[in-house]
Amino acid sequence: MLEWIADLGVFGFFVLLLLVGYVIGQINEKRHYASIRRREEELRSLLVFATRHAPPSAGGSLVSGNAVISIDYFKRFLAYLRGLVGGQIDAYESLVERSRREAVLRMKQQARELGASHIVNVKLETSRVFFDDRRAGSVEVLAYGTAVWGVNPGQ
């Protein structure tokens, strides 16, 4: 039944794995981006500011969102090849963008659950979760800020 895999040889099997990884990775990434766009639209009314000082309000609370996103093996392989010749590595840009947007969305969701009207003093922290000299792994992004509610526009 699986004789055709043996006929592929080692190189053919490697190419088959890369192809399967590429297809599954593309499907997962598109689903994640669709989810991000949908949730960004839902949370559009909750504004986020980098300003340090909040307007006078009835209350505030620290909110945070954390996301760890991993790169798939096909993109890791392409990034390795790109690293040999130099240049921009789009796979990692996508990885960082998805992590950042997901972390901000999770922070906004936490603020919405607290009844906040906006978030101020928003900061982003980025770190590598699994990296070594031979391969890259996951990126973690932490978004945090002060959720503010009960803003009095007359002050």
Question: Which CA distances in Å does 43 have to 20, 40, 72?
Answer: 35, 5, 28
| Residue bearing tokens 């766009």 | 37
- pLDDT (tens digit per residue) in 82-138: 778 887 877 788 888 999 999 999 999 999 999 998 999 999 999 887 666 555 578
- pLDDT (tens digit per residue) in 48-95: 988 887 777 778 899 999 999 887 777 777 777 777 888 787 778 888
**Structural fold of domain 3-149:** Translation Initiation Factor IF3 (3.30.110)
Q: Give pTM, 2 decimals.
A: 0.79
